[in-house]
Structures are given as structure tokens and as C-alpha cells.
Structure 1
Amino acid sequence: MADKRFYHIGFGQNDLGSSPPTIALLSGDPERSHLIAQTYLQDVRVLSENRGLNSYVGYLPNGRSILSATSGMGAPSLSIVVNELVQVGIRQIIRIGTCGSIQPYIQVGSVVISSAALCRQGAAYDIAPVEYPAAADPFLTVALVKAARELKIEHYIGITASVDTFYEGQERTDSANPNLMRSLHGITEEYRRLNILNYEMECGTLFKMAGVYKFAAAAICGVVAGRTIGENIILEQRNIAVKNAIATAVNAVAEIE
């Protein structure tokens, strides 16, 4: 089993070296995975650049071995990658993503740390029933909050709405399909009244997988859109938001026992 290379991630347990990582920083964007590896890790090795699911292994300055991996966009792709990461020995996963805030007090450029997710995702239904909780690991979550405080990064902790589509599922009408189904009209306001903080597309399934597969998961997302103002991503603040999310996650991992 140890010499098996997995079809999607493109590497196996034996490729992780003599000090294999048990924690992964998981990004949807392969460029973000590369950025994390090149900026924060030492003695970096490319494990795979298969299917755009780029993975790198390296070390933090404290000697901790870390995997920087790519999930791709959306829960179906993430579910494949996470399944294979667990098979090579990963036991803690922190998703580093982007999101749109749906509360007026959450500013673009800040970060949202998800304590749990309202999971409206088809992939998750194949993992566990709809009633199964999608909750983040409390210890990883506290580590993220502590790191954000120490770095003086504006951060919010609460419930995230994880949905399958970027446009319709997040009630965007400025797209190729301005005609939303009736069930989606007003859904953002409904979520706002339920004290949900943000929209994103992966962590609900990740959290359910963590419960079923018995690993620890957390999620932090840089806020790149303020949905109480408009539908579009604020490109000027995107890099700040992503940098803040990465820095928080890396500092949290450095302090985890």
C-alpha cells in the first residue's frame, strides 16, 4: 500500500520521505498551493503537478513537515483529493480559501474562520446524510483564531454557507443565467438573518468527511467580495485577503502540538 501512487493526487506514501507530514494546507487554487510552498516552507519538493492538483512537501522553520496541496474548485474535486490524502497519512487539514461575506460588518480583506457549515452540497450527500453535522475541529479552529489575533488580522468566526455553485447557488444574477429558481430568491437575506457569515464552496463537505473519516479539519477564507454591496470580487483587496488567510493558517500550524 505504501508504494501505491494515487491516480488523482499523483503521489503515494513513499513519496513523502522519511519524515512524512500529517498535516496539509489545502487550497482550491494551484497557484496558492505553490505560493504557500515557495514562501513559507523550506527544502520544498514537488510531489505532483497532476491535473492541476499541485502538491508540495517541505518544512516550517520549526522543523514541522507540511504538505501544501490543491483541492481544485468545488466539493466534488475536494472529496477526491481529501480521500486520497487521508490514505497517504494526512490527519489534519486546514482549507485556505476565498469567500464572499454576507454580513455588512465583515469587510473585504479580512478573514472568516468557519466553526461549522450549512452544507448545501451534493458531494456531501454521498459521504453522510443531510442531518450529519458539518463542524470544524475545535482545536484547529482555536489555533486559527489565536494566530489571527497575534498577527492582528481582522477576523470573524462563525457559520459558513457551503454551496455547489458560484453563481446561482450564491444568488448571483449578473451572469449568463439571470433567472434564478424561486427557491433561491432571497436566500442570501435568509442566511443573513440566520447569522451565517459567508459563502464558499468546499468546507461543508470537508467537515463532513472529517467526521466520517476521523481526521481533524478547519477552514479559513479571505474575504474577496462583500455581498451586501455587490456581486463582484474586489480584485484590489483579493491579494490582501489571501495573504492574510495564508499567514494565519501557517502561523496556526507552527503552534500546533
Structure 2
Amino acid sequence: MTNKRLYHIGFGQEDLGASPPTIALLSGDRDRANFIAQNYLQDVRLLSQNRGLDSYLGYLPNNRPILSATSGMGAPSLSIVVNELVQVGIRQIIRIGTSGSIQPHIPVGSIVISSAALCRQGAANDIAPMEYPAVADPFLTVALVQAAQALKFEHYLGITASVDTFYEGQERTDSANPDLMRSLRGITEEYRRLNILNYEMECGTLFKMAGVYKFAAGAVCGVVAQRTVDEKVVLEQKEVAVKNAIATAIHAVMNYFPSL
């Protein structure tokens, strides 16, 4: 750990006060990090907006310090942020993201809690070999499930496919590149048959980093696309899905994982 400000996140351990947080809620979208800070935390202080990676220090209603931080889009950006968060003392990270369902029974507006990830990510290969398991912390995952149950949110627990690209890697053809490589054609159906629940772009690398760096990681994502029906994000239901994912993470930290 260091007392210097880290190059990318723009703050250091000395900026976190006398009782520094050990847990961070990590969002790809800087607006989501801001929303969490302004609507769920108390005595919020902006730590940095360096490189668009907004980070906030605040307190939960039970007075526990916590960070709401931005990872940026994709695993390479997340890997930098997570490395530096660990350097300033963070020991538990919950990713709060968005996701596309690839199972017909998982609707837009619900949430997916990832128990593990099929990790098809180049950044992760720099952390550990391809064979290294990308698994969420079991205690943090159970806490997220208990929170979703208590809040009566429609939720699903299972394996997530973490890939590097939003279009080609998730077999989208309605884009600037409709001509996918042969290795990607039919991959969504293959993953569906393997009982993978959803696509997203960060948690596989996060889980591998957790194993190597020795911190606890979990992930909860709002479902904003139903890939058995359409490639597009359903904006009308995105807000409720994201808010439910956030509320699940907050409730888990406050009520079911008190030793954080």
C-alpha cells in the first residue's frame, strides 16, 4: 500500500481519512457511481474525477465507510482501477453493472448475481492463466442473494459470460461489423446450452484478480437486454434493473455481510 496518489484513480490512502473504507461499489458508468453516492451514501466527498474515473467516499446509514467508484468500460480499464483500489486498502469489491440475458426465462428488468464467469478476456490472461477459475467470493455472493430475496427482487444466480467486446464478442450483428468471425457465429446458443445466464464485460477479470490479489469480489447486474428476442438494450426498463442491482448491493453490505 502507498500514501501517494495513484496515477489513474487520482487519490491515495491519505485521502481516505482516519477510518478508511475497505469496500468499494464499482460501476462501469460514472453516472451510476455518482447516483449511488448521492442517493445511498451520507457525508459524501468527491475524491477524484481523474480520467473520467469518478470516485466518492461516503458512509452507509450504519456509519460504515464505503467507496463508490468508476471502473470504466471493459476489463482493461477495470484491471487498472482494481489494482489501484487494492493498493489504497480496498479488500471487498462489488461490481454493479448491466447485462444481457441469454436465457429465455430471465427477463429484462430482473437482476443476475454471478457465482462465476466464463472468462474470455485478454486482460484476465495477464493476471492468471486461462485455466485459472474466475469465481466470486461465496460469502459475498450469498449475501447478495439474501439481499435480493429480502427486497423481493426477481433475481437469478449462476454463471456469467465475460467477454471483451459489446458487439462482436456478444454475437451482435446489428452494428458496423455484421460479418462475424466463424468462431463467434452461434456462440450465444452454445453458451445457452451450457447454462450460462448472461453476457457482460468485466466480472471475469474482477474475479480472477480477486483470487490472485486475495480480496473478496461479487457482481450483481441489472438485465437490460433479452438476447433471445433482440440485440438491443431496452432503455425503458434499464432504470429499474439498475436501481434494483444497486439496492441489492447496498442491502447486502449493510445486513448480510457485517464483517466487511
Paired position in structure 2 for 1:5: 5
Question: Which whole-Å CA distance do the structure 2 matches of 1:26 and 1:141 have between them?
Answer: 15
Tell me the CA shift for residue 3 of structure 1. Answer: 2.5
Q: What residue is the counterpart of 2:216 in the other structure?
A: 216
Partner of 2:253: helix, strand, or coil? helix
Aligned ranges for residues 24-103 of structure 1 at < 5 Å? 24-103=24-103
Equivalent residues in 2 for 1:6-21, closer than 5 Å? 6-21=6-21
| Matched residue, 1:112 | 112
Give CA deviations for 1:193-224 in whole Å, capped at 9, x if unaligned: 00000000000000000000000000000000
**Alignment match, 2:183:** 183
The equivalences for 1:125-136 within 5 A come to 125-136=125-136
Number of corresponding residues: 257
TM-score scaled by length of structure 2? 0.98
Deviation at 1:184, TM superposition (A): 0.5
Give CA-to-partner distance per residue, 1:117-169, whole Å, 9 cap, x none: 00000000000000000000000000000000000000000000000000000
**Residue number in structure 1 paired with 2:254:** 254
CA distance in 1, matches of 2:186, 2:48: 42
Q: How many angstroms apart in 1 are the aligned matches of 2:27 and 2:251?
A: 16
Helix, strand or coil at the partner of 1:139: helix
Residue 2 of structure 1 deviates from its aligned partner by 3.9
Percent of pairs identical after alignment? 81
**Secondary structure at 1:126 match in 2:** helix
* Deviation by residue 1:2-23 (Cα, 9 ceiling, x = unmatched): 4200010000000001110000
Long gaps (5+) in structure 1: none
Deviation at 1:183, TM superposition (A): 0.4
Deviating beyond 4 angstroms after TM superposition, the runs of 4 or more aligned structure 1 residues are none
- Separation of aligned partners in 2, 1:6 and 1:12: 6
Q: Contact 2:2/2:87 (CA < 8 Å) preserved in 1?
A: no
Instruction: For 2:39, give the aligned amino acid.
Output: T
CA distance in 1, matches of 2:175, 2:2: 46
Contact 2:159 2:197 in 1 (8 A): yes
1:168-247 correspondence runs (5 A): 168-247=168-247
For the residue of structure 1 that corresponds to 2:127, the secondary structure is: coil
C-alpha distance in 1 between matches for 2:49 and 2:130: 34
SS at match of 1:229: coil
Q: Distance in 2 between matches of 1:176 and 1:230?
A: 17
Report SS of the residue matched to 1:20. Answer: coil
